Amino acid sequence: MITAGIDAGSRTIKAVLWDSEKSAVVNSGAIDQGVEQRRLAGELVERLLSELGAGRPPIARTVATGYGRNLIDFADARITEITCHAAGVALVAPSTRTIIEIGGQDNKVIRLDESGTVCDFDMNDRCAAGTGRFLEVVATRLGVQLDELGLLVQQSRCPTPISSMCAVFAETEIVGLLAGGRHPADIVAGVQAAISLRVSSMAGRNVVCPICFTGGVALVPGMAKALQSALGHPVAVAPHPLLTGALGAALLALEI
């Protein structure tokens, strides 16, 4: 049986196809988010299914999650990102006790009990500081692509402290730092540290290990290291962190 999980995030739409007989992901993909979320999600799932070739079984059930999950009206169920990320992490890193998920426009700290069940969570969806959007603002201001930030941060020798905890004010601060001659690599490193400190303040002092890092921002080189420094604990990046929510949705589709 094939199930589909769709994570309609604020920046990208992700989809995973799970084969229950093989107990494996048989295809997955992601596309940029847009106005017509339902159409984009449907086309992505159909493409992934067609790539399986002739004789493929139909999709038995679909679960949607993420920012735009309620717009995916062809899904059999819609489940929160909190539950779906927990389900995805339970498969790829079953000993995890704390999940940190940083997406395009929000971040979450999800706490799990010993059985992998969500017991508590904190979420920031009201401010761009601490999210992928903050990194996009920085990339635009520095005149580089988002995927170049990781290479840039590796050149940093002295991260520049970013005092503003608001993305709007931080952008103004960055303009001033550039005018003052600060190296872009040090500014990026400072921004990563600022994001990590924001997440660390959400997590509080009682962070239970192991910690698993999910979401698209986990793909940015340097972010896991910055989080580890802010939290004072090892941070492991989930395999294919962009797809963790969609994977969890596909697994939960087996239960509906």
* Nearest C-alpha neighbor of 192 from the set 248, 134, 249: 134
Rounded to whole angstroms, the Cα distance separating 151 from 77 reads 40
Question: Where exactly does CATH 3.30.420.40 map onto the chain?
Answer: 1-93+242-256, 96-237
pLDDT (0 to 100) of residue 134: 83
Q: What angle do CA 217, 147, 192 make, to 5 degrees?
A: 45
Residue 126 reports pLDDT greater than 80: no
Rounded to whole angstroms, the Cα distance separating 7 from 80 reads 10
Helix 244-252 × helix 81-92 angle, to 10°: 90
Residue 130 reports pLDDT greater than 90: no
CB 14 within 8 A of CB 28: yes
Q: Which CATH architecture has domain 1-93+242-256?
A: 2-Layer Sandwich (3.30)
Least confident segment among 14-18, 123-127, 195-199, 221-225: 123-127
* Alpha carbon separation from 224 to 51, 91, 132 (Å, rounded): 33, 20, 13
If one counts every other C-beta atom within 10 angstroms of the C-beta of residue 15, the result is 30
Share in percent of the chain as helix, strand, coil (round to 5): 45, 25, 35
C-alpha radius of gyration, the chain, whole number = 19
Over residues 185-232, the pLDDT tens digits come to 999 999 899 889 889 988 887 789 999 999 999 998 899 999 999 999
Residue 11 reports pLDDT greater than 90: no
pLDDT (0 to 100) of residue 129: 64
**Global confidence as pTM:** 0.92
pLDDT (0 to 100) of residue 89: 98
Would you say domain 96-237 falls under CATH 3.30.420.40? yes
pLDDT band at 112 (very low <50, low <70, confident <90, very high): very high
According to the per-residue pLDDT averaged within each range, which of 72-81, 96-105, 148-157 is highest? 72-81
Place of tokens 């990102």: 81
